[in-house]
């Protein structure tokens, strides 16, 4: 039976009786399992109005009480972790354990946001001038919005929602229409935790809904994660309409492998970071850069052996390393990139095209693919493939490897594997990439640091989670205060005030 997914507005589910809908597939079987409504601009405007009406009372709630809602939410998510992970797997296609990690990484940011009473404190200087005190305060922006991708339907919405509502804003979430059920369920849990109706709203849609959020004056800030062309569009459109914007795009994450590295450790790291979640991660390692021909030959041999042992199957079945891609279109797109690599002359060591799972022949599967002798002019090196495709791009020496990662137009994440502390220290200082791992294949910072890429991977001045998130979702007001003695008059002054 095909179920209907609802918007979540004003603290309750809202399912339109008519309008446009989009199919939600089960990637493991290829069957349609649900329909999701695509909101009109007018429906989005009504959601914004609901959020705007609810926000002032929430902003007036003291930060400690807002934090207690987050505390209760953490407990509820842990209570329902299995349900959430199964729901996520069924719509996205990632394995059950990977889905639990998706939820958990989002929950860690919520845990950080419980510290909002401290994070929202301003500064105070007494006696800044004669009888003058100066202090600052952080205040919410009002109504803010998040537009989030399919590949992390729990984690990235929570990265946006947590700091925004902890700071006193109301939030409108437009999640991916490919796997929309988990964001709705999270909104329900927030209300169960005590969040007032209207503070968190989930509205489904496509470009019409997105444009309505970007152009409505009541939306004061927009956060986005997705592909670089869309990130750039959302960023430029949002700022053209006077909004703050924090937009993160594509990636092409390199792993530099030095000759002194433990190649068994490296190969294991590359297999997990390259093929986990079918490569549908913005922090996936998609380019291995071994330094020197000897290192490259040995690494290629180890990777070929491990790739042949990878197990691909249904998302909710036990014993598989990764599941299907999110859609048939994704399989087609990635398969086209594989052919481009072949046509460009790269060495195809493992070909995942035509992969099928018995009993699930309609599923969106692609086997692990491995290329060697990839050069920087090839599309499979330059562009984000976003699938289970790992390429080996050989470097003659350390400087060439450093330049490859630094010169690429994307600058999301990078890693170096080495036993040489000097090389690691030099690499972290010089590489032109926003997040760096040393013997860590997926350098996603923990919740109390910030997450964000450089160059074409990120648009905006502030990153996700950590203290940057609270800066992004608040505005600073500075007060200069003086209480002169009763009856004292100093006359009129036409000189600019100083602290002299």
Catalytic residue positions, numbered: 282
Helix orientation angle between 96-113 and 155-166, rounded to the nearest 10 degrees: 10
Lookup result for tokens 């993160």: 248
Decide the pairing of beta strands 253-257 and 200-202. Answer: unpaired
Phi, psi (deg, nearest 5) at residue 138: -100, 130
Give the integer Cα–Cα distance in Å for 369 and 323: 14
Please list, in sequence order, all residues whose beta carbon lies within 8 angstroms of the beta carbon of residue 399, skipping any fewer than 6 positions away: none
Give the integer Cα–Cα distance in Å for 209 and 278: 29
Q: Is 387 exposed, middle or buried (0-12, 13-18, 19+ CB in 10 A)?
A: buried
Q: Are 132 and 138 in contact (CB under 8 A)?
A: no
Q: Quick count: other Cβ atoms within 10 Å of Cβ 360?
A: 20
Give the integer Cα–Cα distance in Å for 121 and 138: 7
Please list, in sequence order, all residues whose beta carbon lies within 8 angstroms of the beta carbon of residue 291, skipping any fewer than 6 positions away: 256, 257, 258, 259, 395, 396, 397, 398, 400, 401
HSE, CB side, 13 Å, CA atoms: give it for residue 186: 31
Three-state DSSP class for 22?
A: strand
Give the integer Cα–Cα distance in Å for 38 and 41: 10
Q: Are 405 and 246 in contact (CB under 8 A)?
A: no
């Amino acid at each position: 039976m095909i179920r209907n997914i609802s918007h979540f507005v004003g603290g309750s589910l809202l399912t339109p009786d008519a309008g446009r809908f989009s199919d939600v597939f089960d990637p493991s079987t290829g069957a349609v399992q649900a329909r999701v409504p695509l909101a009109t601009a007018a429906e989005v405007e009504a959601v914004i109005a609901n959020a705007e009406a609810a926000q002032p009372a929430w902003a007036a709630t003291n930060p400690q009480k807002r934090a207690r809602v987050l505390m209760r939410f953490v407990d509820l998510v842990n209570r329902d972790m299995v349900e959430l992970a199964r729901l996520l797997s069924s719509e996205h296609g990632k394995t059950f354990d990977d889905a639990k990690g998706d939820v958990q990484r989002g929950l860690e940011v919520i845990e950080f946001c419980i510290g909002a009473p401290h994070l929202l404190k301003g500064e105070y200087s007494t006696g800044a001038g004669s009888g003058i005190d100066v202090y600052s305060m952080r205040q919410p922006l009002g109504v803010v919005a998040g537009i989030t991708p399919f590949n992390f339907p729990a984690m990235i919405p929570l990265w946006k929602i947590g700091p925004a509502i902890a700071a006193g804003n109301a939030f409108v979430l437009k999640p991916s229409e490919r796997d929309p059920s988990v964001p709705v369920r999270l909104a329900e849990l927030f209300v169960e935790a005590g969040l007032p109706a209207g503070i968190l709203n989930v509205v489904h849609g496509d470009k019409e809904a997105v444009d309505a959020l970007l152009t409505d004056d009541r939306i004061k800030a927009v956060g986005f994660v997705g592909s670089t062309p869309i990130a750039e569009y959302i960023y430029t459109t949002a700022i053209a309409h006077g909004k703050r914007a924090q937009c993160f795009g594509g990636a092409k994450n390199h792993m530099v492998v030095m000759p002194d590295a433990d190649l068994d450790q490296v190969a294991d790291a590359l297999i997990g970071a390259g093929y986990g979640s079918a490569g549908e991660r913005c922090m996936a390692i998609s380019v291995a850069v071994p330094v020197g021909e000897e290192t490259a030959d040995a690494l290629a041999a180890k990777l070929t052996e491990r790739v042949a042992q990878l197990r691909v199957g249904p998302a909710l079945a036990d014993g598989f390393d990764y599941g299907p891609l999110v859609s048939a279109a994704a399989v087609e797109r990635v398969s086209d990139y594989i052919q481009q690599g072949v046509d460009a002359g790269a060495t195809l060591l493992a070909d995942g095209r035509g992969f099928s799972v018995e009993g699930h022949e309609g599923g969106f599967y692609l086997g692990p693919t491995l290329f060697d002798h990839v050069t920087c002019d090839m599309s499979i090196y330059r562009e984000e493939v976003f699938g289970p495709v790992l390429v080996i791009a050989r470097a003659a020496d350390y400087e060439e490897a450093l330049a490859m990662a630094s010169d690429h137009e994307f600058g999301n994440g990078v890693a170096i594997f080495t036993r040489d502390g000097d090389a690691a220290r030099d690499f972290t200082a010089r590489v032109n990439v926003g997040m760096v791992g040393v013997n860590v294949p997926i350098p996603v910072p923990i919740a109390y640091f910030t997450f964000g890429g450089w160059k074409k991977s990120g648009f905006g001045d502030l990153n996700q989670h950590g203290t940057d998130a609270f800066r992004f979702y608040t505005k600073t007001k500075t007060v200069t205060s003086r209480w002169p003695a009763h009856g004292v008059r100093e006359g009129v002054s036409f000189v600019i005030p100083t602290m002299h």
